[in-house]
């Protein structure tokens, strides 16, 4: 994955993300839109064969755009750690049930 910052404004950010699909874009968008400081968040892929996406974020309330993005990424990381732990428990329970 390669990320390039295309534009940074007072309360907005536009990125170009190479090598990603809607899987990451949708997760990032969903997580950002849960934040009360986010006004707009969304990504688009011009063509699925190009493997290049753009992502736009606009914040409100005096919050810094980079801070909002980093906080969302931290929440995503925490959710994936929680999912892994739950999945490991499920695998243990499954394997015990087979024995």
Overall average pLDDT of the 53-69 stretch:
95
Read off the pTM: 0.85
Domains in the chain: ranges and CATH = 2-98 (3.30.1360.10)
Q: What is the DSSP secondary-structure string of 63-89?
A: --HHHHHHHHHHHHHHHHHHHHHHHHH
Overall average pLDDT of the 33-62 stretch:
92
**Residue of 8, 78, 5, 71 whose CA lies nearest to 36:** 71
Overall average pLDDT of the 84-94 stretch:
96
Overall average pLDDT of the 78-91 stretch:
96
Q: What would the two tokens of residue 4 be?
A: 């390039």
Is-contact 21 42, C-beta < 8 A? no
Is-contact 31 72, C-beta < 8 A? yes
- Parallel, antiparallel or unpaired: strands 2-8 and 38-45: unpaired
């Amino acid at each position: 994955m390669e990320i390039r910052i295309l534009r940074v404004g007072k309360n907005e950010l536009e990125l170009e993300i190479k090598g990603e699909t809607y899987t990451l874009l949708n997760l990032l968008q969903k997580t950002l839109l849960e934040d009360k400081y986010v006004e707009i968040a969304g990504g688009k892929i011009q063509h699925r064969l190009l493997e290049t996406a753009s992502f736009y974020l606009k914040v409100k309330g005096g919050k810094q755009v980079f801070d909002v993005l980093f906080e969302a990424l931290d929440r995503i990381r925490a959710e994936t750690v929680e999912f892994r732990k739950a999945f490991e428990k499920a695998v243990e329970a499954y394997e015990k049930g087979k024995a």
